[in-house]
Amino acid sequence: MFAEGLCAVHPFFAAIAACLHAARLDCLLEAAIAGWDLDLVSPGEESLMWWWIERISRARSQLVLAESWESIWAEAWGDVAQAMRNVSVSFAALAESVISCDRYLCRTLRFALQMGNQGGRSGFV
């Protein structure tokens, strides 16, 4: 609301606000990418980070400004993020379908305890 009022009074404010918004999105994109270099992204958060990077880069690409290195960089990262998000979702579905050794042992131990308790005994079968 405040920005709309300033745009009506000062015609150049819209261009300045768009440039500041683009700089903000560029900083957010760089910070999100730096998360991997600093090992701040856990494997469970990977898909969410790709979603965030895709969202930032798409917002940056939608700004109507003169084409610059930053806009090309954001568009490229948007494509990479979309592809990596699709890959991480596919691998997550595959990982859920494959039973790990730990899950297998946990299920086997639970089954053995249940079978031992059904016969009136406690402990393993």
User: For 38-92, how does the pLDDT look when each residue is reduced to its tens digit (9 = 90+)?
Assistant: 888 887 788 888 888 888 988 888 887 777 888 888 889 889 988 888 887 666 5
The answer to whether residue 108 sits within a structural domain is no
For the segment 21-37, the average pLDDT, to the nearest whole number, is 88
Q: What is the pLDDT of residue 111?
A: 58
- Is 116 contained in some domain? no
pLDDT tens digit string along 88-115? Answer: 766 655 555 555 556 656 655 665 666 5
Q: How far apart are alpha carbons 85 and 80 in whole angstroms?
A: 8
Q: What is the pLDDT of residue 1?
A: 46
Does residue 123 form part of some domain? no
Model-level pTM greater than 0.75? no
Domain region containing 6: 2-100
In a domain, 21, yes or no: yes
| Terminal-residue alpha carbon distance, the chain | 71
Residues 6+ apart with CB under 8 A from 13: 3, 6, 7
Q: Say if 80 falls within a structural domain.
A: yes
Q: How many domains does the chain have?
A: 1
Indicate whether 122 belongs to any domain: no
Structural domain contains residue 58? yes
- 114 is a domain residue: no
